[in-house]
Amino acid sequence: MVQDIIKLFIEKGFLLDGEMLEFFKELKDEGVAKEIIDKIAIISQQKVITKSLINKNIEKIQPIISELDVEKKKVMEKFFVNVSISVEVKKEITISESKTSQNLGVKVLSSPIIASQKLTVKDFVKNFRHRYSFLKTILQENPNLEGLTSIDKIGGNKQNFSIIAIITKKSITKNKNVLLEVEDLTGNIKLLINQNKEEIFEKGKEILVDDVIGFKCSGTSDFLFCNDLFYPDSFLREKHRAKDEVYAIFLSDFHIGSKNFLEENFNKFIDWLNGKDCDEKQRQMLKKIKYIFVTGDSVDGVGAYPGQEKDLKIKNIKDQYKKLAEFYKKIPKHMNIIQCAGQHDAVRVAIPQPPLGEDFAEPLFECENLYLVSNPSLVEIEGSEKKQGIRVLMYHGAGVIPHIIFEIEELRLSNARATPAKAMKHLLLRRHLAPCHGGFVYIPDANQDNMLIKEVPDIFTTGDLHKSDIDKYNGTLIICNSCWQTQTAYEEKVGNQPDLCKVPILNLKTGAIKILDFE
């Protein structure tokens, strides 16, 4: 166990001093070790984990401590002695004096963080193996895939069997059929989807390289013919609702710092949150807004694209976050803000993107009702020990969504940039947030594929395309967010007319949703 924990820290780019090694040796919990790594990665730029570093940031790892069982808490108390006492005192003060995000029922289920490290081909291979293995387990449950076998066991001429494979190459033959090269962990083979089978052929046209798909086949070990195909797909088996009438708001793409930022409109929205120019009915509703989800590009950033400086009103990125913090501090404290990053924010562009850190966004850490999470992240709200809450998948989607729209003919021809929920359905269908290698920059994790949709969310919310769009897919509510920035030169060039200042507000008890317009 100790060796596993040491290995875990090394893989994440951190080192343990002697005292911390003794602590984890006694604790014997790899899960807690991983959570502490993730928290430290968010709050500190230091690479050596020491007792003093943990002491200094004890309040920020307090939620981890509070969830430990009795025996592990005793180990924690024994090691941190005086600190552990102060933690309990501070915890009581927090609950009694302020409505923190913990008290409001926010639980971050997944917020992947990958430390800077040297990457090799093996890391990508392991990442793909994890992807294939997870999606295979889902497809194996599909009753339509009869006679499942591996590629190396196909043998001579066979009829009506199934394989689960990842797509390595796709092409169109002279006869306009779809020709695929596929592989599993045992081998590879070519597979043809005939255009005469119209329904299957239409599904075949939407196949992307690196998709993991279940095929019903016939053929030999040299060549296969597809009789049908199935994706892993997402199905929400049970709808989760809040017990009480509470509301969530969904926002994205403020682009604070840009000359195009609609500051007057944003101030109008903040004023509305504070009950300005509202009747009594609206004020009562405002008291029930508990969650504000912000899916990236809160600021315009610096150096996000060539020549950006001429488009900036605030040219220092730290000052952009200072301005953002000023807005956030005006939001009533009972409203919990959960924010992930986008490609304009002060984190790496490669996905998964870590949460914003104190190095550039220090003023945000003064906002007590703000949660900073990774892009993507899975957050649960309104849950309890006895009841699963509402799970919200947050994802900015930069690079990925435009790539999906370009690669899938139906989306491309229907101008899905104007209706991005169509593209989000394809991600849910594939159970993956970044299905195509090479279409965007990402960092593989050798231990798991962080872009898999392992848990089907109740709500899937995105940003990036500056378009407001609401839809549903197999029980999941899709919310694509508008922006607070007028049309940029780039958007004009590609013909994108942004939706401005639209605010979806969702009743978490009834599921009713409406869009407020602050334009």
Which pLDDT belongs to residue 456? 96
Which pLDDT belongs to residue 102? 41
And the tokens for 430? 């594939």
Residue 20 · residue 36 · CB < 8 Å: no
HEC string for 294-353: EECCCECCCCCCCCHHHHECCCCHHHHHHHHHHHHHHCCCCCEEEEECCCCCCCCCCECE
Residue 317 · residue 302 · CB < 8 Å: yes
Whether pLDDT at 462 is above 70: yes
CB atoms within 10 A of CB 366: 10
Which pLDDT belongs to residue 445? 85
Which band of pLDDT confidence, cut at 50, 70 and 90, is reported for residue 488? confident
Whether pLDDT at 38 is above 80: no
Which pLDDT belongs to residue 496? 79
Q: Which domains does the chain have, with CATH numbers?
A: 2-97 (no CATH), 140-230 (2.40.50.140), 247-517 (3.60.21.50)
pTM of the entire structure? 0.81
For residues 132-152, average pLDDT: 94
Nearest to 452 by CA among 470, 432, 436: 432
CA–CA gap between residue 346 and residue 318 (Å, rounded): 9
User: What residues form DSSP beta bridges with 299?
Assistant: 256
Whether pLDDT at 96 is above 60: no
Which pLDDT belongs to residue 247? 96
CA–CA gap between residue 401 and residue 395 (Å, rounded): 10
In tens, the pLDDT along 373-395 reads: 999 999 999 988 888 999 999 99
Which pLDDT belongs to residue 43? 56
Whether pLDDT at 447 is above 70: yes
Residue 484 · residue 299 · CB < 8 Å: no
Whole-number average pLDDT of the chain: 85
Whether pLDDT at 45 is above 80: no
Which pLDDT belongs to residue 308? 86
For residues 67-84, average pLDDT: 57
Residue 312 · residue 334 · CB < 8 Å: no
Which pLDDT belongs to residue 116? 66
Whether pLDDT at 235 is above 90: yes
Which pLDDT belongs to residue 66? 56
Least reliable range by pLDDT among 39-43, 83-87, 338-342: 83-87
And the tokens for 163? 């394989």
For residues 241-263, average pLDDT: 95
